[in-house]
Structure 1
């Protein structure tokens, strides 16, 4: 009976500790047109959270992401900026890292070309390993070596 109480106590503590996990505040935004709302929501999915690095602004719970959402909202609704103007402003302020799809340029060539280079290197390595396997050829059967091995085995018995 006593072990059962401990398991209930442990379960209760785990539930209490995780009760606040995953809860986020719901941001209510007012837009003057559906186009503004679509632009805002589209930008949030295309812009990266600078803290989380693997989440977009729409999904991030970081405080900086909330600030950036507010800034994007103000640029779209109050300043009337279009998608390109908002992205340009954020790139000037935070660099290309803020974009999930940075432009192809000298500073991002490794990001865009790296996977293809790695695929090419892996293909060449696989080709060389496969070629070496064929170059060895079959093992020649030498009758004198087999007879010597048989004599050794008979001597041990």
Structure 2
């Protein structure tokens, strides 16, 4: 009986453990007291990608790291740093991926032009394959032409038993 009770307690502990393993909710955002600085920070939030969600801006992300990134941006805006300096600092910390519009340079050429190059390559391949398939049909032999003439004339056709009088 004790063994069954211990197994039941262990199972309940395993079932409840994911609830305890969740990350705590982020602290509520504290906007900057200066409305102009807060508006500038909000504009920056829309261009910065959450490194956890990866498809959301930090303005929309509920992740704790997004809240930390929002706070970092606010601190740098309050410190008087320019937008470019703030973005450079974030790129230094997280890489080019953190920006929704990463800069065009040698390391990001594939990111910027890769999809267009891939589509152009697929289009070129399809065009080349469609040109290669155009094969001319061999001309009919005299025997085949005679058979075709018989078929068209209707001599070798048997009537369709399901045909209505209007189909004849």
Match of 2:47 in 1: 46
User: What are the Cα deviations for residues 5-38 of structure 1, in whole angstroms up to 9, with x where unaligned?
Assistant: xxxxxxxxxxxxxxxxxxx98635133142x122
Look up the match of 1:69: 70
**1:103-123 Cα distance to aligned partner (Å, 9 max, x none):** 111211100110221121022
Distance 1:52 1:139 in 2: 60
Match among 29, 32, 35 for residue 34 of structure 2: 32
CA contact (8 A) 2:44 2:83 kept: yes
Partner in structure 2 of residue 8 of structure 1: none
Deviation at 1:129, TM superposition (A): 2.3
> Contact 2:58 / 2:69 at 8 angstroms: preserved in 1?
yes
Structure with the largest fraction of helix:
1
- Provide the C-alpha distance between the structure 2 equivalents of 1:131 and 1:49, rounded to a whole number of angstroms: 46
Q: How far, CA to CA, are the matches of 1:47 and 1:115 in structure 2?
A: 22
Over residues 79-135 of structure 1, what are the superposed CA-to-partner deviations in whole Å (9 max), with x where a residue is unaligned? 12110111111111111111111111121110011022112102211211221233x
Equivalent pairs, count = 125
Shift of the alpha carbon at 1:143?
Answer: 4.4
Alpha-carbon separation, structure 2, partners of 1:116 and 1:27: 39
What's 1:138 paired with?
A: 137
TM-score (norm 1): 0.68
TM-score normalised by structure 2 residue count: 0.64
1:101 aligned partner: 101
Could you tell me which runs of 5 or more consecutive residues in structure 1 were left unpaired when the two chains were aligned: 1-23, 149-153
